[in-house]
Structures are given as C-alpha cells and as structure tokens.
Structure 1
C-alpha cells in the first residue's frame, strides 16, 4: 500500500509540474488562444506567464495546483477561460456510463466462456483453455475493434450509429470495442484458473462422495476467484485507457476525448484534471480488487496480483499453420513495400485494387500495400525496441523482489494512453516518445515474473550442493540463476510483443506517436478513417496487418518444442 501511494504521489507531482515540464512554452499557447491577433513578443509572453503564475518556479506551481486540488478547485481552462470543472465533471459522467456498459460486456463474455468450463470441471471432464485465436482476440486493442465496428456495422450495414451520444444505440459499438478485449483476457484467465483448481484432490473426493454438481461448481468458482480479482483490476484499468481512443473514434463527449483534445491544444489545466480523474479511477479499481482478493482468500491471494502470460494450447502443426498463414502476408507486404515507391500521386487518389496497386491507393495517391510494408519497420521495429528495453528493466528488478512486486502492482494502474499524453507534453510528439510510453506500462508484469523466477532459482535443490562445492556468487549468477531466468522471461516478453506493437499503433492512431505523414500502421489507420466508404482497403489493410502480427508472434513464441530423445525416454520410463 505504501508503494502504491508513493507511486501515485509521484505521478501527481509529475502532473502538477506539467506547466513547468512542457516541451512547448505554455505562455505561447495561451497567447494564441486568448489573443489571436497579438504578436508573440517577449513582453507579451512575460505578461501571460505572470498572469498564469508560470514565472513563480516549479515549487510554487506544484504547491498552488495541489492546494487547489485539495479544495476541489480544478482551475481555469487556458483556452476558453471557463472553469475546468464545468467541462470535466459532465465528461466524467459520460465516461462512467460508457465504462459501465463496457464492464457489462466484459462480464457477459467472461461468464459465457467460464460457465462451460465450470460444468466440465464439476462433471470430471478436462477443462481446455482457448487456443491461439482466443489469445489473439484478447490482445486486439479497442481502437482496432472500434474501427472495424464503424466499418462493418455503421458504414456498410447501417445497423448502428457511428458517432454521437444520443441514446442507448450509441452505446453498443463503444461498449463492445472497450469490453471485448477485457472479456477475452478475463475469460482466458478464468478458464485457466478453473482448470487448475479442478485438478486438486478435494474435487475428486467431492465427486466420489456424491456431492451435487451445482455445489461443486460453486466451490470451484469460490476457490478460483481470489487469484483472479487483482487481475480483473488490470482489465478495469485497460477499459479506463480505452476510453481515450474509443471516445475519440465515436465522437463521445467523455473524459478521454476531452483529455486528448486538451493535450493537442496544450490546455494543461483541463489535461491535468482529466488525468487525475482517469488515474484515480484506475487506482481505486486496483485497491478494490486487492481488498476483494484479501477478503476471499486472505493475504496469500496477493501473490497472483500480476498475471503471467498464460500458455497457448495447441499442437506443433497447428501453431506452424497459424504462423505461416499470419506471417506470409506480412512478409509479402514488407518485400513489396521495400521494392515499390510510396511517392505522392494525386491523380490516382483513393483508387481501388488494380494490377498497378494491389490494394489501391490512399488519400494522396500512394500505394496502400507499399505503405503497409514500409510501416512494418515503424510499428514492429519500435515494438521490438520497447520489448528489449522492458526486458532489461524487468531482468534488473527481478533481483529486487521487495521492490519489483509492489512497483509492478502500482504501475499497472496507468494505461498507455495516459502515459502517451504525459510523454507528448514533456518531450513532444514522435516515435521515441511512443516507445517510452509503452515501456512505462509494459515492464510491470515482466518484472513480477522475473522476481518469481529468481526466487524459484534461489530455492532449487542443487543450489546448496554447488555452493558446498565452492561455487562463488559470480559463477552462480552466470551459470545457475541467469540461465533459469533469461529464457522463460524472454518467452514471456515475446508474448507481450504484440501488445506493445498495438500500443505503439494506438498512440500513432491518437496522434501521440509517429508523425501524421509517417507510414506507421496506427497513423495510417487514423488518416484513412475519413475515407472509409470510398477506399475501405486503406483502413482495413493496417488493421489486418496488426491482427496478422499478433497471430504470427503468438504462434511463434508459444510453439511447442520437439520432444528430444531424453524426454521421450523419460516418458517411456514413467509409463513403465
């Protein structure tokens, strides 16, 4: 709890110092917003700084902001001059409505997936977790599902409204986009937990004693629920972060859309208030889930607060088939993109597929497939860099378990969109800032896993024997601990790679990452949205590339190893 509070305080300090840390001069932003015709002279800028109190220094800025926050005063908008509360409080109510609908979708998906598992476990049949398709569905981001929902159900079929917030029908697509990924994660974790509990001895004893299946199912659910409670808090946090992209796509006047607009206009008082409310909601969800886990199963449930990526089931041939089907189109796109030019040709704008342009052209007449291949380096390359950096941080923190676990739990309360907006205000827009934002929210589960692996290596039975034979600390680290930690941690980081790539793409989609003209997949998807009806392939191509990357990486990382001669011999000995 102390670590969580310290991390929350550090984030509040960073938010309070945004006017001092901002990459662009806030006085210039306010001058252009309030006095459009006034020249930006040094005297005019100094007058604006004095008016806003920006010349008082960072400590005074932080003190005044925290004092106002304690009084419930959220400040005054720099752009409009209106009280921030008049904008933020109604937007927060709208966001809570959308988040509540998304949580209902998450709960419905989880219940629909776990109910058959409970029935199978209560009757003594094995419980299987989902395969690659289920794991990939859980990894799909909200902005991608929202884009596909607009394309299919609004633009093509005309069944649901795409924009606005006028009635219950406007909630359907946003709730599905925000709730389905969390439902996939919760369903997968729930089925895995039920399968593990079903293998315990008491379940077989209860069935042998003739207990009703309904009673066994209730006991299974109660036994599997405590480890899932903290993990469901992470799902709630992801829904909080999803509000930024989803509300922007569907033009919902919520808190996420207000935060993104404030970051774009550098209206820092509005952005600060939005961040405090969003982070506070995620922090409260984490505390509530932690308290629920302790109440159900005591302090022992805290050990499962950070989920380790679950294994993906399926045979070797099935994994290879998934990998081939997903990776081959991506490789073709990359080779095609490197061979073709992405030059602007306005005479061929928004054309359909042809022999000259296999997937047509975009709004500037550029070849869609060529841009897709060129964007692979922007998205996948940045994700690889973020994955390597997160791996290094996690490996270092793994040897500090007292610090790794509480820090990981605390940082899980911050979604990538919030981190992206903070980085943009401080460093400006760019792909480097997107990588930093993704790393900031990606290392916690890896660090918790690394700490668990280090503890497991420290308790190995042969460790004492090697120490007794004279092995020194350096030799034990190189030859004993690191080999037991680096391999499993690398596999876990590989499973996180699609999520990092989608995080990079989501920041590019929101305008918080790569530049607007970059071939990065998220930025390309955002540019093509206004032309969805005229050139649907321009939007569907980067969306399909993200899905294919997720499938390919999940299949490659979780590929079962071939059984060696020794493992086959040991299996025959066990059977004998």
Structure 2
C-alpha cells in the first residue's frame, strides 16, 4: 500500500481553497443574474396571476407599481443584489410572506429526504459494487450490473406512482403522499435511492477493479491476507476518491430538490416549492429558491474538496 506524506496544515488548505471559493462566488452571481433575467423575460405577468385576468387595468397598474415591477430591469436587478448583501431575499408576491421564512420551512423536509435517499443508496451500492468487482464476470457481477442498468433506466416519474399503487393502494402499508410520519418517507426515499444506488454501484465496481490491479494489492495477497481483508482494507480504501466525488454531486443535487419525486409524492420540500413559485410567477420566491439551491450545491462540492485531503493527504485542494 503506498505511503502518504504528512498531512497539510489546515491553514494551508484554507488558503489553497480561496481560488475555488472565489470561483464559487462568481458562479453564484452568474446564477442570480441568469435567473433574474430569465424569470423576467419569459411570457406571463404575475399581476394577472394575483388579481386574475378580469381585473381592471387601473388595479393592475397600482399593484405593479406597489411591487416595483414597473421599474426598469436594471434598477430592479441592482435593488435585488443590494438586498442579497443584507441577506434580504424579499417578500413572496403570492404568499405575502418573507421568502426566507418560506425557504426555511422547506429545507428540513428536503434535507430529511436527501439523507434518507443517499443513505439507502450507499447501503445498497457499496456491497453490490465491491462484490461485482470481486466476482467479475460471474453471476454476482451480472446480477449487480443488471440491477444497476434497471435502476438507471427506470425514471422516477414511473417508479414513484408504481410504488404508490403497490404499497399504498394495494397493500396499504404506507401513506399515499405527504409527510405525515416516518412511513411517509419510505416510498420517496426508495424512489430516489434506487436510482442513485444504480449509478453509484457502477462507480464502486469500476474504482475497485482499477485498484485491484495495483502492486500493493498483489503484495497484500502474496502475504496471505484473505479476500475480505484485501477488498475492504486495501482496495475500497484507496478507491474512495472517485466514489466520494459522485456522492458529493448526488447529495448536492438532492439538497437542491428532487423536483419530480417531491411532486409525485406531494413532499413539502424545496423542489415542490420551486414548481409552485414558477407556476404563480412569484419572482422573489423563484430567485430565492434557486439561490439557495446553487449555494447548497457549491457548499457541498467545497466540502468534498476538504474531505479529499482528510482521506488522502497526497491530494491538494486546487
């Protein structure tokens, strides 16, 4: 097994992460700008949604002026950036509540679903991937890869209703939708977790197979170590970096909101909130939700870089 150099000081790690943090902030500003422009340029009028198409033109103009929507886009954009600096995301046009309050109510359910789904994916994928690599070309490998292909091919908008039909309507084991107890988490987590496990299992198999051909693994076998010790103590330990990358990306995407799954199961998370905000043309809420999703995704990927150093000190955050 290759020897690793001394661990870098955390001050040096933080300094080396400064360019990435600067890039992340630039990307976040770009996301805010793009969403601001797109949400204002697409067809539709939030005033008509709030008052109805039969409202009088005078009432529409009065509401548009009160909301500041009659001002130039440049003025609205600068005002929006100024509020962001003060951590003020504005007020929802539809709910007439602070956007930050609405987002804080939906973060908990999304985090709960993301942790449950990713935990299920890891529990399924790591043993499947390791066994598939160990029994390469045999029945276990073919069965694991068949599961992987099926899990990646079956879309969530088909699997979710199928699980509802079988386990909720036919068997009556779980609630149909909503978030009314621990059992209501089972079907959404399975819907998301199986798809993630399918992708992750292939990555685990590929990474372990690559490591099994290294010299230190052959040396461990020559010393008389058993297959399990070789797989878990040597091969999997050194195959973690690409696996960790995929786990970080998946977790960031889940925290961003699994829109389809949350919609199918009426799960009150960020994804369903974003869909509702788009349907009602709620500019501040859409911008706040996308900003939170982008910030979460960037934060998870930055944390992944730090974990690289903790797992393998030879890796330096770039």
- Compute the TM-score of the two structures, normalised by the length of structure 2: 0.81
* Matching residue within 229, 239, 242 for 2:244: 229
Counterpart check, 1:38 vs 2:52? no
Q: Which residue of 2 aligns with 1:6?
A: 26
Shift of 1:113: 1.1
Change (3 A) 1:238 1:86: closer
Q: Tell me, in whole angstroms, the C-alpha distance in 2 between the residues paired with 1:126 and 1:226.
A: 28
Where does 1:479-494 land on structure 2 (aligned, <5 Å)?
Answer: none
- 1:119 Cα deviation from its structure 2 partner: 6.1
What CA deviation, in whole Å up to 9, does each residue of 1:305-329 have, x standing for no partner? xxxxxxxxxxxxxxxxxxxxxxxxx
2:43 and 2:113 map into 1 onto residues whose CA distance is 33
* Cα deviations by residue, 1:58-112 (Å, 9 ceiling, x for unpaired): 2221222222233232211211322223322111111111111111111211233
Please point out which of 185, 207, 213 is paired with 2:199. 185
C-alpha displacement of 1:260: 0.7
Q: Tell me, yes or no, if structure 1 residue 92 matches structure 2 residue 107.
A: yes
Q: Which residue of 1 aligns with 2:172?
A: 158
Measure how far apart 1:136 and its partner are: 3.4
Going from structure 1 to structure 2, the CA distance change for 1:237 and 1:92 (only over 3 Å counts) comes to: same
Distance in 1 (CA, whole Å) between partners of 2:79 and 2:38 is 13
1:50 paired residue number: 65
CA distance in 1, matches of 2:103, 2:250: 24
Aligned counterpart in structure 1 of residue 44 of structure 2, from 24, 31, 34: 24
Pair 1:210–1:133, CA change in 2 (3 A): closer
Q: 2 CA distance for matches of 1:23 and 1:299?
A: 52
Identify the match of residue 176 of structure 1 among 171, 190, 203.
190
Q: How much does 1:116 deviate?
A: 2.7
CA distance in 1, matches of 2:252, 2:155: 13
Q: Which runs of 5+ in 1 are unaligned?
A: 303-405, 407-576
- Note the C-alpha offset of 1:127: 9.1
Q: 2:291 is matched with which residue?
A: 276
Provide the residue aligned with 1:75 in structure 2.
Answer: 90
Contact 2:256 2:296 in 1 (8 A): no
1:69 and 1:196 map into 2 onto residues whose CA distance is 46
Whole-angstrom CA distance in 1 between matches of 2:67 and 2:50:
9
Taking the aligned partners of 2:314 and 2:36, their CA distance within structure 1 comes to 34
Q: How many residues align?
A: 295
Tell which deviates more after alignment, 146-155 or 273-282: 273-282
Q: How far apart, in 2, do the equivalents of 1:188 and 1:135 lie?
A: 9
In the TM superposition, 1:18-417 aligns within 5 A as 18=38, 20-32=40-52, 38-39=55-56, 41=57, 43-117=58-132, 128=141, 130-216=144-230, 217-240=232-255, 243-297=258-312
The more displaced of 257-266 and 293-302 is 293-302
* Aligned residues of 2:31 and 2:294 also touching (Cα < 8 A): no
- Over 4 Å off, 4+ runs: 117-121, 125-130, 212-215, 298-302
In the alignment, the residues of structure 1 paired with residue 86 and residue 25 of structure 2 have an alpha-carbon distance, to the nearest angstrom, of: 20
The Cα offsets for residues 188-233 of structure 1, whole Å up to 9 and x where unpaired, read as: 1101111111111221111112235554321211210012222222
Distance in 2, matches of 1:197 and 1:128, equals: 17
Look up the match of 2:35. 15
Say which SS state the counterpart of residue 55 (structure 2) adopts: coil
Q: Distance in 2 between matches of 1:80 and 1:284?
A: 29
Structure 2 Cα separation of the partners of residues 93 and 204 of structure 1: 47
Instruction: Supply the RMSD in Å over aligned alpha carbons.
Output: 2.9
Structure 2 match to 1:537: none
1:237-264: CA deviation from partner (whole Å, max 9, x where unpaired) = 4434562122211122222111111111
Does the 8 Å CA contact 2:128/2:201 hold for their aligned counterparts? Answer: yes
TM-score by length of 1: 0.47
Q: Hey, what's the Cα distance between the residues in 1 that align with 2:288 and 2:28?
A: 15
Relative contact order (alpha carbons < 8 A, sep ≥ 6): 1 or 2 greater? 2
Q: For residue 70 of structure 2, give the secondary structure of its aligned residue in structure 1.
A: helix
- Give, in whole Å, the separation in 2 of the partners of 1:59 and 1:211: 67
Q: 1:79 to 1:274 in 2, by over 3 A?
A: same
- Give distance in 2, aligned partners of 1:19 and 1:115: 46
Distance in 2 (CA, whole Å) between partners of 1:92 and 1:49 is 30
Change (3 A) 1:298 1:183: same
Q: Aligned to 2:258, what secondary structure does the other structure show?
A: helix
Q: CA deviation at 1:154?
A: 1.1
User: Which shifted more, 289-298 or 6-15?
Assistant: 289-298
- The answer for unaligned runs of 5 or more in structure 2 is 1-19
